[in-house]
Amino acid sequence: MGVPRFELLCAGMLGFGQLFMNTAFDAEAFILESVIHSVHEREPERIDEYAGYYGQAVIYASFMLTCLFTPSLLNIWRPKLLLVVSSLCFAAFPFGFLFINSYYHYFSTVVLGIGKAFFNLGCTTYLTSHSTRKSIESNVSLQWAIGCGSLIVGSMILATMTWFSGNVSTSMTLNVTEIAVKSDIRTFDDFEIRLLALVLIVVSILAVITVCLLPSADVENCIEASIRNGSFKNDLKLTLITSISPKMLQIVPLCMLCGFNASFLMSIIPTSMHFNENNANMLYIPAIYGLGAGTGEVLMGFFISESSKRIQGFGLKPTMAIGTAALMVYCTLIHASTPAEAPMKPTSEEPLLFYQSYLLIFVIALICGISDCCFNGVRSVICALVMPSRRAQSFSVSRMYQAAACVIIFFFSPMLPLHVYTVGLPLLAILSTFVFFKVVNSTERMERKLTSDTNLEQEKI
């Protein structure tokens, strides 16, 4: 098999590993706060009303702290092993839906945060050891496009579970499996929750199998080899230094934007749609929303991958500009169609301009997916280029700042009205775009200088 095909195989398999791994997390993230809210209404002593939001804050706090140590683990673990361990951590999360309670819920969120840190570093370092400078932009986008199919798979699972539970409740006179509309919002019964958990556990097992089958050998002329010869202590020190280096601080706005945008996309928007009592009869919101977000992520990922092969640098400035434009569009649509209090609690408040429909929900999610794919793609590429001698550290530190943004937004979500997100995110996106363009210009000058110096040395020889 030729090197380009081997690179595509590795990126594709990694994408499918991410797809299976994230299916359970993505599907649960869309409905987590709504499910917790439903369980709390039935049994208040089992779990706190806002444990969905707070649990996701714990995930990213655990993720953030683990990011400090993961680069040091590359001295003793290869990227593939990090991916295998992370898949096991992800598999622990859907088990919590079988017996929802505060203790296992928060324990599994800590484990999941560790798994996310392992996956993100394992994923990026695996790609750099299986990509050349010429192919990195395309491979990153291909892997991301396939991986984000998890949103589509998750939406299909949610739609099937809703349909099946609805049919069962229709054919039975008992209220055991009833999908109820309680207090004018969509609620989830125990049967529906456990059925979903069993399906997601099976998908998580597929993730473990897929990452175990990943090829291990590095490609020729890869950006960075997977075998390291450093020390844990020195690498930890290097990670701390990287976290405050001027080059890294320049991409902090982009990292924070990725965190805020992902949190808004994955949890706060779908929760707002559930808590909007005008949508009480729309039982398929999670499925439609997930399908739209996944479609946007996948289509944009393939578009960036193909465009990067034809247009040099397309995965940087043009992609960032597209992501910012998409974010401003979807924030406008959400602001106009969602009650201000919907992120915090069930509300019958009227929207600003128009009501939501399945079509509008799909369009909003589609544009959300496009923006998320763009921001994550440019972050992955710039981290691979901006600090060539500290790639593992730059990947982890960028994720650490992203996780910090997620912790902040989930911790304060129970008290933040909608306009904080729909106004704040576009402003942050504009700032991030200007700063990112400066970083790209600086990086391109550095690459030209290195290429020129290398050519001069070869001419002397």
Please write the tens of the pLDDT for every residue from 243-264: 888 888 888 999 999 999 999 9
Q: Which two tokens mark 340?
A: 């201000």
Report d(CA 364, CA 154) in Å as an integer. 17
Q: Which two tokens mark 12?
A: 């594709």
pLDDT digits (tens, 9 = 90+) for 15-33: 899 899 888 887 777 777 7
51 within 8 A of 105, measured Cβ to Cβ:
yes
Report, as an integer, the average pLDDT of 74-80. Answer: 82
What value does the mean pLDDT of the chain take? 83
Which range, 37-41, 215-219, 254-258, is most confident?
A: 254-258
Report d(CA 243, CA 407) in Å as an integer. 18
The confidence score (pLDDT) of residue 180 equals 41
Report, as an integer, the average pLDDT of 278-300. Answer: 87
pLDDT digits (tens, 9 = 90+) for 348-378: 888 888 899 999 999 999 999 999 999 988 9
Q: Which two tokens mark 380?
A: 């992955």
Which residue has better confidence, 213 or 385? 213
Candidate from 298-302, 406-410, 437-441 with smallest mean pLDDT: 298-302
Beta bridge partners of 347: 276
The confidence score (pLDDT) of residue 199 equals 87
The confidence score (pLDDT) of residue 429 equals 96
Report, as an integer, the average pLDDT of 57-72. Answer: 86
The confidence score (pLDDT) of residue 173 equals 40
Report d(CA 30, CA 52) in Å as an integer. 10
109 within 8 A of 25, measured Cβ to Cβ:
no
* Residue 435 Rama label (left phi>0; alpha psi -120 to 50; beta): alpha
Give the closest residue to 37 by CA, choosing from 189, 213, 214, 245: 189
Candidate from 75-84, 177-186, 217-226, 443-452 with smallest mean pLDDT: 177-186
The confidence score (pLDDT) of residue 459 equals 56
The confidence score (pLDDT) of residue 435 equals 92
pLDDT digits (tens, 9 = 90+) for 140-165: 778 877 887 888 888 888 888 777 76
Q: What is the CATH number of the domain that holds 87?
A: 1.20.1250.20
Report, as an integer, the average pLDDT of 194-216. Answer: 88
Find the radius of gyration of the CA atoms of the chain: 22
The confidence score (pLDDT) of residue 175 equals 45
pLDDT digits (tens, 9 = 90+) for 383-431: 877 777 777 788 788 888 998 999 999 888 888 899 999 999 999 999 9
Report, as an integer, the average pLDDT of 302-307. Answer: 85
Establish how many alpha carbons lie within 13 A of residue 378's alpha carbon, considering only the half-sphere containing its beta carbon: 31
pLDDT digits (tens, 9 = 90+) for 161-199: 777 766 554 444 444 434 444 445 567 777 778 888 888
Which residue pairs, CB below 8 angstroms and at least 24 apart, start in 101-106? 101/46, 101/47, 102/46, 102/47, 102/48, 102/51, 105/47, 105/51, 105/55, 106/51, 106/55, 106/58
pLDDT reading at 42 higher than 60:
yes
pLDDT digits (tens, 9 = 90+) for 223-248: 666 666 667 778 788 888 888 888 88
The confidence score (pLDDT) of residue 260 equals 94
Structural domains in the chain (count)? 1
Which residue has better confidence, 335 or 46? 335
Counted residue by residue, the chain has a size of 461
255 within 8 A of 379, measured Cβ to Cβ:
yes
The confidence score (pLDDT) of residue 322 equals 96
Q: Which two tokens mark 303?
A: 């578009």
Residue 166: domain span: 3-460
The confidence score (pLDDT) of residue 395 equals 79
Percentage of the chain exceeding pLDDT 90: 25
Instruction: Indicate if the alpha-carbon torsion angle 86, 139, 297, 68 is positive or negative.
Output: positive
Question: Strand, coil or helix: what is 347?
Answer: strand
What is the CB neighbour count within 10 angstroms for residue 458? Answer: 8
The pTM of this model reads 0.78
386 within 8 A of 310, measured Cβ to Cβ:
no
Beta bridge partners of 182: 185
